[in-house]
């Protein structure tokens, strides 16, 4: 069509950019979006499966995957609206609150365990004191 002169001349800006290198054209129609989504989700899932298999041999390999970034990429590829995906700052705030709650809960559990140990020690000491008193006073208290 270009040789036949049926295509309009490209804008001057496009010609200028094309002289510096290749122009990347990215289609955004429904078919192109579906194909892009399909390839992205398949790539993400295959990559995650590979990491899962690798973890059997190299248990620390999961540290290479940014879970938040993975989830964002997957949600976007699946067509999830940006309006339902939280902002990164908000996610960081939520994670910080969850970590503080987990730490408080761990401290509470530790305090309960320590109080149980003290209670058990006091019970043992009380029993030993009672036995000594019984021995000193002839067994009757």
Please report the pLDDT score of residue 83 as a whole number: 92
The answer to whether 70 touches 44, Cβ cutoff 8 Å, is yes
Task: Please identify every stretch of the chain with a pLDDT value under 50, giving residue numbers as ranges.
Answer: 141
Domain boundaries, the chain: 8-85, 87-141
Cα–Cα distance measured from residue 52 to residue 44, given in angstroms and rounded to the nearest whole number: 12
Please report the pLDDT score of residue 87 as a whole number: 94
Please report the pLDDT score of residue 127 as a whole number: 64
Please report the pLDDT score of residue 134 as a whole number: 66
Cα–Cα distance measured from residue 69 to residue 95, given in angstroms and rounded to the nearest whole number: 15
> Within the chain, how many helices (H) and strands (E) appear?
4, 0
CA distances from 48 to 42, 43, 56, 79, 117 (A): 10, 8, 13, 19, 45
Contacts 24+ apart (CB under 8 A), 30-35: 33/79
């Amino acid at each position: 069509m270009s040789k036949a002169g049926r295509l309009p001349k490209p804008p001057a800006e496009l010609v200028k950019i094309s002289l510096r290198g290749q122009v990347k054209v990215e289609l955004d129609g429904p078919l192109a979006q579906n194909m892009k989504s399909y390839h992205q989700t398949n790539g993400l899932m295959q990559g995650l499966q590979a990491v899962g298999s690798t973890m059997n041999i190299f248990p620390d390999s999961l540290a290479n995957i940014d879970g938040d970034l993975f989830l964002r990429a997957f949600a976007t590829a699946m067509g999830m609206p940006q309006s339902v995906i939280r902002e990164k700052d908000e996610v960081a705030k939520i994670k910080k609150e969850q970590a503080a709650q987990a730490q408080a809960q761990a401290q509470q559990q530790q305090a309960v365990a320590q109080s149980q140990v003290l209670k058990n020690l006091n019970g043992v000491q009380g029993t030993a004191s009672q036995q000594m008193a019984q021995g000193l006073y002839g067994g009757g208290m």
